[in-house]
Structure 1
Amino acid sequence: MLASLLTLLAMACGGDSESGLPTPGPAGETVLRVEMSNGFFSPRSLTVRAGVDYILELRNRGGEDHNLRIAGVDNEYETEDDFVSGNLEPGETGSLKFQIDELGIYGFRSDSQPITMIGTLIVWEPPPIATLVPVTPSPTAAAETPTPSPTAEAESPTPEPTSAGQ
């Protein structure tokens, strides 16, 4: 399951277009890039860590105004715990800062196209990194090499020449 989440993370995170990874922002925030067009977001899914500050850099490549609204922890739209960007006209850019502390899957959408222009925000906490503890091997007795046991090979007597007709 962890491998699936990591694969999903690698595929889903926004970021610079060359690497597809999030980029560091000011004051320890992580920047994710999202493009908005008529009818869709790119990427459609984002994966973030719980309790981390993020900035979504938004670019409207569509022909009409769009915004981005993340449903809050109640996972309902148009409630007081939503994170909402301002409306962006075609060609405009904007940003949205957010932090979500509770693990879960949240929806996001554009209020101008709330049925078709939707996406998914996955909030997760990676497992703690395992700490390797060095182990000093204890001395052990040298393994004994088995000595081959002697085998009794039966020697066949060599027949003595006989003199015929002596």
Structure 2
Amino acid sequence: MTDDPREHPSKVAGDRASLTSFLDYQRATLAMKCQDLSAEQLRHTAVPTTGLTLLGLVRHMVGVERSWFRLVLSGEPVAPVWPGADGGRSGAWEVADADADEAFARWHEACEHSRTVTGSFASLDDTVEFDGEVISLRYVLTHMIEEYARHNGHADLLREAIDGRVGE
């Protein structure tokens, strides 16, 4: 983690470029927190009071990307990628036997699809109706930045507990 592979957002970009670049920056931050770790380390529960793992965070973000961009913005049906033991959506966190390569491949695909969906909207103010609410692209991008930023805080603590590495 000595080299920062992230592309830092412009300090003078317009709204759309600013929101999309901050979202990509947050995505890159999660990837950076996971780099150079083995699958075993990615599955490691580093904090004894929680079952949170880096691999679980990546798998969770697959579901979040798919929910907001495929289901909400595109109106596509979305089934959980990793259904929980109870058939629910909690399976992303169940990583004891999870394939790390599959998780990262699905995450990269979900992020790329999300970028495509974002590009299909003419304006940040374009809206969709979902579950009785009107939701703009601006809202979804802002929410996704918040979602990644919150989980990247978790990822930072997990990474430090795994191997002592810290950083932005």
Please indicate the TM-score interval, normalised by the length of the shorter structure. under 0.3
More helix by share: 2
**Highest relative contact order (Cα 8 Å, sep 6+), 1 or 2?**
2
TM-score with structure 1 length normalisation?
Answer: 0.26
Larger radius of gyration: 1
TM-score with structure 2 length normalisation?
Answer: 0.26
More strand by share: 1
